[in-house]
């Protein structure tokens, strides 16, 4: 697993410049690092983000009772401590 990760990192660093150039040519822009600029991209004036909505989203994300079995939350497969992935090629839930 470590060898595969190292290979992926090396490949991305070697190919990174050309991929970035292709992305720019395609009109893609990087995600803003500035919080205000990011908020501008993700906000909706008709439905503004609030602290209460963010907290509700967190609660729902980790809530297994929303699954059919009552045992699986979004975080089961999209584990935030693993970068949002479980490493599986196909979903099991």
Count other C-beta atoms under 10 Å from residue 57's C-beta. 12
Q: Work out the burial of residue 75: count CB atoms within 10 Å of its CB; fewer than 13 is exposed, 13-18 middle, 19 or more buried.
A: middle
> What is the per-residue pLDDT for 67?
93
> What is the per-residue pLDDT for 61?
96
Q: Which residues of the chain have pLDDT under 50?
A: none
> What is the per-residue pLDDT for 60?
97
Q: What is the pTM of this model?
A: 0.53
């Amino acid at each position: 697993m470590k060898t595969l990760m190292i290979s992926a990192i090396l490949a991305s660093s070697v190919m990174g410049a050309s991929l970035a150039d292709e992305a720019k040519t395609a009109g893609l822009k990087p995600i803003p690092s500035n919080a205000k600029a990011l908020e501008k991209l993700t906000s909706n004036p008709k439905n503004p983000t609030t602290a209460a909505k963010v907290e509700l989203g967190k609660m729902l994300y980790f809530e297994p009772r929303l699954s059919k079995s009552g045992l699986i939350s979004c975080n089961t497969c999209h584990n935030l401590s693993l970068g949002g992935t479980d490493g599986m090629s196909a979903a099991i839930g």
